[in-house]
Structure 1
Amino acid sequence: MTRSLTGCAVAVAMVVLLASCGSPPAPEPEPAPASDINPVAAQRLSDGGELRIAVTNLGGTWNPLHAERPSRERDQLRRAFLPTLFDVDTAGVLSPDPDFLASVDVAPGPPGQVTWQLNEDAVWADGAPIVAEDAIATWRACNGERPEFRCASDLGFDQITDVSQGSSPKQVKVTYAGSTADWQRPWSHGLLRAASVKDPQTFNDGWASMRPEWTAGPFTPSGQEPAALFLDRSEKWWGTPPRLSRISLSTVDAAGGAKGFGDHLLDVLPAEDPDTQADVREQPGGTIRMALSGAYRRLIFNTTAGPLSDPAVRRAIMLSIDPVAVGRAAFPDTGYQPLPMDSQFYGRHQGQWVDTAAQAGVRLDREEAQRVLDRAGWRPGPDGVRVKDGQPLVIRATRIAGLITSEVEAVELQRELSGVGISVQIEEASIEELADGSLLSGGNFGVVGITADTSPFPLDGLDARFGSGGEQNFSQLAMPEADRLIGELSAASDPAQRVELSRQLEAVLWEQAPSMPLYQLPQLVGARDLVANYGAPGQASVDWTAVGLIAG
């Protein structure tokens, strides 16, 4: 999305102006639902039919374990034709998918061991059974022992010490080095056929197009073009028969998607842009489906960058930023009502969420922000910018050109922090610099916003993100107390103990302020009202056997 910021900034300024005129505070808006998919019972759906979905990109790899693995959008789609061992509900809680896992037995250990029994009927699209050897090959490809396999760095297979066949080819035994608390994590991206990961060349380069014999699910690829992929019912599928007979995926831009929807060539399309939403709503039967996505915005503070090395400055920033205003400016005219994350790890849709920000005294309070700066020795200067020991309180904010969420954040930081005496200089970086990691790992920024995930494993990767010297600790802040708590969390198996430790860790992070979670992003999808059980599923997985078209 590359909309102009002018209207956004004016709209936010008007909201602030009106709020300052003595109006009573508005009640906290209702958050978007956890899911919006138009649920309809199977008996009301047509037996057959084609669902035509617009996607932003079909290029690159379909390998869900690859370092350049498919986007969140395509991750949702691949469940139609690749093995998925778990279903995910709207709260991000995983449960075994009975089409692939008949049973699971967890022995916490240590060492922890999990034994699966694969569904006896589960087969690949060519009829070959899905067996333990497939799990063994998947683990061997990405356990870190062979770096020539270009695996994503956050999969967790390195926490597994052994994968072996049990009493039959359909039984799998997985042994973990430590706790089994997040035992599903390595397998949450699916199980790959042994032949598809047999060597680095096949793993790295063999997934550019889909080979039907590597797939397993209610659908299987039947044709592929540079900008299209066609999925038909799989003759080998053993589970509940799907309602649809075909799914067509097409790559289009926002303008092309809106035109395709208007010309009745598409049934579903991304709709983050207000113009696209307006086009969808103008069509008979066009609806916008909206849910809380599994992603949120987080501000990263470079604690080595001048005044940002002062924890009082970072706390003052957190007390001065209004996440709701930032979110409204980023998504105007969409109907989305953003709410503050108010948690370091959990999304509002997750059962463990509590307002730990309030518990830590972090809330929108610019008068308190000024008192914090006063106590730290930052005194008001003649030009409104605070000064300490002759140093003006000036910080840099990086905006990513063309990324509306980032552009809005930079403008809002500059506007909101000026009221407490902090001057913000806006610098620009490219999307490429953000994507290739050079911006964050190079540390050439003061404050920058990133998109992070509220995954089903919210306590996963804490050491990398917040631990001293962690590869994703872009704030460069060492926190010994956080290191201690992260170590205890990684060793704990009891869910209640893990939640309690996470609360303690959140308190440390709010106090030390290496970063600030802002607001959860919406999932916005345009769809025809006859499309059932699909749209904006939020954190939940899609049941592709249930997706269909309402019978006319």
Structure 2
Amino acid sequence: MRSVAFLTAGALAVPVLAGCGSDEEVSRPLAGQDIASAARDVVADGGTLHWAVDAVPETLNTFQADADAGTTEVAQAVLPSMFRLDQNGRPVRNPDFLESARVIETEPRQVVLYKLDQQAVWSDGREIGAADFAAQWRALSGKDSAYWTARNAGYDRIEKIERGANDLEVRVTFSRPYADWKSLFSPLYPKDVMGTPDAFNDGARRKLNVSAGPFRIQKVDTQAKEVVLTRNPRWWGHPAKLSEIVLQAVPREQRAAALAAGTVDLADVDPAEAERITVAARANSGGTPFQGAGRTSAKKLRTWALAHGFDSDKIPTGEKKLARTISKYLREQEVLRAFEVRKSLEPAYTQLAMNGSAGPLADERVRRAVARALDRKQLAKVVLTPLGLPAVPVGSHLALSGQADYADNSGALGGQDTAEAQALLADAGWVPGGPVKQEKKAGKAAGPQATKDGESQDGDGTYIVGEDDKAPRETADEPKTATRDHTGHDAESGTRLARDGKQPTDKHPPQGGAPGAYAPKGTAAPAGAAAGPLAKDGKALTLRFVLPSGPGSQSLRSVADRISQMLDKVGIVTEITKVPDESYFKDHIAAGQYDLALYSWPSTPFPATDARPIYAKPAAAADGSLNVEQNYTRVGTDQVDQLFDQASATLDEDEARSLIRKADARIWVAAGSIPLYQRPQLIGARKDLVNAGAFGFQTPVYEDMGFLKKGAKLSPGPSGS
């Protein structure tokens, strides 16, 4: 889920990291969850929750390449999970399935003993046990190519799984030490799904006949674009308050209207729609254009519509049509007064990615110059301040504030410094005022349908990528990653997680910066020379900035504009190229057809496992292509790889944390990608819906969701108490 690189030896010293011990001050989440937390005794029994999602899942198997945010949401509600995430994004034992889980041996092999809850059973009545653990291990071990798995991390280190002292105990023996063992078996599928390649590959794509959670799948209806979950009668934990949860696919731009129509109770919304809900909640919010005597002119109606956020291109012409449109809007606003916006920060961050495989950015000095030109705090403010969320730049590639591995290591590279950025560029041979050769244009650089700067976009639109490397998912405020767990399934966001089952390859070998600029390195333009672009070997320093062109990307677009302005100040020209959403990730990011790009990575409590493919040093494949795994910046180093390997192999949590932070510091130095800000999470929710909304890091507790009893009031205290 990210990218890597390291500077040449001695180019930039990496400071020694202090305070990595257990006595170190623990970071806190920048924003708490906002779910209208309520005790179970004030939640009504029954009711249906209509929950807007991006799409009906293509598969219900989270371990397949085309799994998405919807896949994860279903799995969290209907399948066992040995560990889930708390409000700080840290793994905690799930008491509904586990009495305990701990490492009981380290020599000669690491052994983990799971003690299962004695009531834990599958929906067909069979006890959950070692046979299910073993079937999942064999399917995901990577030893049988007949299983079409998207990832094998951790499972490939297991040597054997066997029954313990009784049927409730499962012994897992590892062939090599594995620090992230808590990431395994979450979710856990029944042996019926994992037992054979056919069942794994096809059997669980549209149905799960056997499950074990507070809910079970009643149906997956692709025509109605919905997944219906109903109470599981064999659930042994707290009974689900809701009778039914309907996950309904609703386009992001239609969600405010769906809330107003009563077809949806809960929806991830864009900033514009969030503002509409907030305005509706205010009494007498601005009146209407129809107040007063006499007719209202079309001009007055149009002025009112523009002032209330109507898209100028979609305002109908003609007084009658416009009046009907506004009247419908006002009726919807009246209904929306029953809703509110719940907001937090997603467990994901937006980054500026730099393609280091070729061109100017193959030179680490140019990448560092780009990074030093950025005012990251200002960029965070562009997106988060208007939403009332803390505008704090992300200081780590590998964790977010609140998680155990988080530390702000950005100092390894340094903050915004125009003079330093210009010095780095001069050292790399890029000098101002140099001659620039005129070259014939070779057509559109970004492929078919690419458009230039100027189209407006709504929301944030940042693409978030899951570790399974699927197709990009884009969301209003950043791809929506619905709530996501350590597997990397989203919760992305709008259009949400980007993944691609196959490992991308790069046919273009890395190229370093060409030596010998038109003038010696560091030579400034002659006194009195006309100001011009930075140049080297007769070429101006111009970077292609690729962005998606679809709706839901206004914030993203604003960030790109600010970045372009910042780079212009140090002499770097950017050419913004907008491409269709469907081709943005696959044809540009994964294919390496970009210089600069904005997309998001989900955070994970298991960076040694989940982040390694993002920062792994690209390696040559047998056919001569470059296997980049998920390292779309194509910048890597052996040293960072070694730190990840060491972190994943130590069972000392303090040592592992120290190694992760050292790896992050070196990733900062390499400047392949620059974390900018944590993505906002905006949820439109019915006011009487409790224990649901902006979950932040935490895994949702589906059995506690529901509607307040009539006359009940919210009281302080954790959900489910």
Q: TM-score range by the shorter chain?
A: 0.7 to 0.9
Match of 1:4? none
Matched, 1:518 2:514: no
| Identity among equivalent pairs (%) | 30
Is the contact made by 1:398 and 1:410 (CA closer than 8 Å) also made in structure 2? no
Alpha carbons of 1:101 and 1:462: their partners in 2 closer, same or farther (altered >3 Å)?
same
Matched, 1:356 2:353: no
AA at the equivalent of 2:66: E
Is the contact made by 1:294 and 1:454 (CA closer than 8 Å) also made in structure 2? yes
> Once the two structures are superposed, what CA deviation does each residue of 1:425-454 show, in whole Å capped at 9, x if it has no partner?
223444333444x43443222122222111
Matched, 1:92 2:145: no
Is the contact made by 1:112 and 1:177 (CA closer than 8 Å) also made in structure 2? yes
* Paired residue secondary structure (2:634): coil
State which structure, 1 or 2, has the greater radius of gyration over its C-alpha atoms.
Answer: 2
Q: Aligned equivalents of 1:81 and 1:488: distance in 2?
A: 35
Q: 1:314 aligns with which of 367, 373, 377?
A: 367
Matched, 1:323 2:376: yes
Mapping of residues 476-515 of structure 1, within 5 Å = 476-515=634-673
Match of 1:175? 173
Match of 2:233? 235
Alpha carbons of 1:528 and 1:386: their partners in 2 closer, same or farther (altered >3 Å)?
same
Q: 2:699 aligns with which of 510, 529, 541?
A: 541
Matched, 1:373 2:422: no
Q: 1:135 aligns with which of 128, 133, 136?
A: 133
Is the contact made by 2:379 and 2:559 (CA closer than 8 Å) also made in structure 1? yes
Matched, 1:286 2:339: yes
Match of 2:606? 457
Q: 1:126 aligns with which of 121, 124, 127?
A: 124
Alpha carbons of 1:523 and 1:308: their partners in 2 closer, same or farther (altered >3 Å)?
same
Q: CA deviation at 1:539?
A: 1.3
Q: 2:188 aligns with which of 173, 186, 191?
A: 191
Q: CA deviation at 1:181?
A: 1.3
Match of 1:27? none
Match of 1:220? 216
Matched, 1:204 2:193: no
Q: Aligned equivalents of 2:61 and 2:276: distance in 1?
A: 35
Q: 1:69 aligns with which of 45, 67, 70?
A: 67
Q: CA deviation at 1:193?
A: 0.7
Q: CA deviation at 1:491?
A: 2.5
Matched, 1:414 2:411: no
* Paired residue secondary structure (1:80): helix
Q: Aligned equivalents of 1:263 and 1:280: distance in 2?
A: 17
Mapping of residues 16-27 of structure 1, within 5 Å = none
Matched, 1:387 2:535: yes
Alpha carbons of 1:401 and 1:148: their partners in 2 closer, same or farther (altered >3 Å)?
farther
Q: Aligned equivalents of 2:682 and 2:348: distance in 1?
A: 13
Match of 2:595? 446
Alpha carbons of 1:229 and 1:447: their partners in 2 closer, same or farther (altered >3 Å)?
same
Q: Aligned equivalents of 2:561 and 2:157: distance in 1?
A: 42
Q: CA deviation at 1:464?
A: 2.3
Match of 2:44? 46
Taking only aligned residues, the RMSD between alpha carbons, in angstroms, comes to: 2.5
Match of 2:324? none
AA at the equivalent of 1:82: L
Q: Aligned equivalents of 1:104 and 1:234: distance in 2?
A: 25
AA at the equivalent of 1:347: L
Alpha carbons of 1:412 and 1:349: their partners in 2 closer, same or farther (altered >3 Å)?
same
Q: Aligned equivalents of 1:265 and 1:199: distance in 2?
A: 40
Match of 2:503? none
AA at the equivalent of 1:387: A
- Relative to the length of structure 2, the TM-score reads 0.68
> Once the two structures are superposed, what CA deviation does each residue of 1:381-439 show, in whole Å capped at 9, x if it has no partner?
24432124544222222222326265445433322201110111223444333444x43
- Relative to the length of structure 1, the TM-score reads 0.87
> Once the two structures are superposed, what CA deviation does each residue of 1:255-296 show, in whole Å capped at 9, x if it has no partner?
543223113332111112413541465222311111111111
* Paired residue secondary structure (1:120): coil
Q: CA deviation at 1:329?
A: 4.4
Matched, 1:471 2:629: yes
* Paired residue secondary structure (2:121): coil
Is the contact made by 2:123 and 2:232 (CA closer than 8 Å) also made in structure 1? yes
> Once the two structures are superposed, what CA deviation does each residue of 1:316-370 show, in whole Å capped at 9, x if it has no partner?
111112334444545685434432111121112323322211x325222223322
Q: CA deviation at 1:32?
A: 5.4
Q: Which runs of 5+ in 2 are unaligned?
A: 1-27, 281-335, 434-529, 619-627, 711-721
Q: Aligned equivalents of 1:444 and 1:535: distance in 2?
A: 37
Residues paired across the two proteins, number:
518
AA at the equivalent of 1:239: G
Alpha carbons of 1:375 and 1:88: their partners in 2 closer, same or farther (altered >3 Å)?
same
Q: Which runs of 5+ in 1 are unaligned?
A: 1-29
Alpha carbons of 1:356 and 1:250: their partners in 2 closer, same or farther (altered >3 Å)?
same
Alpha carbons of 1:217 and 1:490: their partners in 2 closer, same or farther (altered >3 Å)?
closer
- Answer with 196-205 or 285-294: which moved more: 196-205
